[in-house]
């Protein structure tokens, strides 16, 4: 689990003018808010994660302990129209791929009955390396 | 020798040096510097078979001993230490030999398998670059040049006595 990873992903999206021209920064969120009522919006949540120490993690000096972290992140794009969800997804993908070791592994189109909006659920796998 | 450990308890040190000299400073020569994610050491003992003419069966005896191994690193010469590249490309002077040492675990109170091999030669350095989901790594092979000097004493495999 890494809060940093989710914040980092949000940072990539917020620093892209292609993304923020479609979704305001204030509506790119990490974790579910109590009320989600502004659209379009992007929600970043973590669904799985693994952390693995490299060879010699325990014997390396502090600051040089190599650890790989693989995070599975869910990106929910909410919008009033289906086309809007596609347009947003199309600008999100290249931003996240360009961010580093990130790949999209799943993509589902949904309609959210509770919120009455279109929803595009994408899942990304993201690898981060740490020098603990 | 006892205990079950994982790779995170291991140590590996790699340093190039000139013939007849010993490495005394292992600063920045450890697995973290090279970003080693895999390490293997293989000890092979061959056998010799001779026909016994006119007699049933054949004669078998011990054959040659060889020690070799491989490792992967994800930190290369520019960002880490370049001993491995210097050894395979320059291979003379201060880079004529490579000392590769390490241990399964450094936990106190138990004796784990250790190796201290001072006459290694890097025989292959293979950099592989894949897609965005693949860590860029180099696969390195090495061989011990003086297997006749290798001995084993209470958990330690070493050729250092003749360095």
Per-residue pLDDT of chain B (163 residues; tens, 9 = 90+): 567 889 999 999 999 999 889 888 888 899 999 999 999 999 999 999 999 999 989 999 999 999 999 999 988 887 778 899 999 998 889 899 999 999 999 877 778 899 999 999 999 999 999 888 788 999 999 999 999 999 999 889 999 864 4
| Chain A interface includes B9 (CB < 8 A) | yes
Q: What pLDDT score does B162 carry?
A: 46
Residue B157, both tokens: 């495999």
Give me the residue spans of the domains in chain B: 7-46+61-162
ipTM: 0.80
Q: Do β-strands B97-103 and B11-17 pair in parallel, antiparallel, or remain unpaired?
A: antiparallel
Longest Cα pair distance anywhere in chain B, in angstroms?
A: 65
Q: What pLDDT score does A48 carry?
A: 92
| Chain A interface includes B34 (CB < 8 A) | no
Q: CA of B51, closest CA in chain A: separation in Å? A: 47
- CA A128 – CA A97 distance, rounded (Å): 13
Choose, out of A56, A96, A103, the residue to mutate when testing the contact with B (most B CBs < 10 Å). Answer: A56
To the question of domain A3-50+71-123 being in CATH 3.30.70.100, the answer is no
CB contact under 8 A, B30 and A103: no
With the CA atoms of B1, B4, B5 and B7 taken in that order, what torsion angle do they form, in degrees rounded to the nearest 10? 90
The percent of residues in chain A predicted with pLDDT above 70, rounded, is: 99
Confidence band (pLDDT; 50, 70, 90) for A1? low
pTM over 0.95: no
Domain with residues B7-46+61-162, CATH architecture: Roll (2.30)
């Amino acid at each position: 689990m890494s809060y940093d990873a989710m914040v980092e992903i949000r940072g990539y999206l917020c620093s892209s003018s292609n993304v923020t021209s479609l979704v305001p920064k204030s509506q790119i969120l990490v974790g579910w808010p109590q009320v989600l009522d502004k659209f379009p919006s992007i929600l970043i949540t973590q669904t799985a994660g693994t952390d693995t120490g490299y060879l010699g993690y325990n014997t390396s000096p502090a600051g040089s302990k190599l650890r790989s972290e693989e995070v599975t992140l869910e990106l929910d794009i909410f919008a009033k129209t289906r086309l809007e969800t596609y347009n947003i997804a199309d600008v999100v993908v290249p931003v996240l791929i360009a961010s580093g070791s990130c790949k999209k592994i799943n993509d589902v189109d949904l309609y959210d009955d509770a919120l009455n909006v279109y929803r595009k659920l994408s899942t990304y796998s993201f690898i981060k390396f740490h020098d603990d | 020798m006892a205990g079950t450990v994982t790779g995170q308890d291991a140590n590996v040190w790699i340093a190039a040096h000139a013939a007849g000299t010993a490495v005394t400073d292992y600063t920045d020569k450890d697995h973290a510097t090279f970003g080693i994610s895999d390490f293997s050491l293989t000890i092979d003992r061959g056998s010799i078979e001779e026909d016994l003419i006119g007699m049933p069966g054949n004669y078998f005896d011990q054959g040659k001993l060889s020690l070799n191994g491989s490792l992967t690193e994800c930190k290369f010469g520019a960002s880490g230490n370049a001993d491995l590249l210097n050894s395979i490309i320059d291979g003379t002077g201060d880079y004529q030999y490579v000392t590769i040492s390490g241990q399964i675990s450094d936990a106190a109170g138990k004796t784990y398998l250790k190796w201290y091999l001072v006459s290694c030669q890097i025989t292959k350095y293979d950099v592989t670059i894949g897609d965005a989901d693949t860590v860029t790594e180099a696969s390195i092979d090495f061989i011990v040049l003086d297997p006749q000097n290798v001995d084993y004493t209470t958990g330690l495999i070493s050729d250092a006595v003749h360095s």
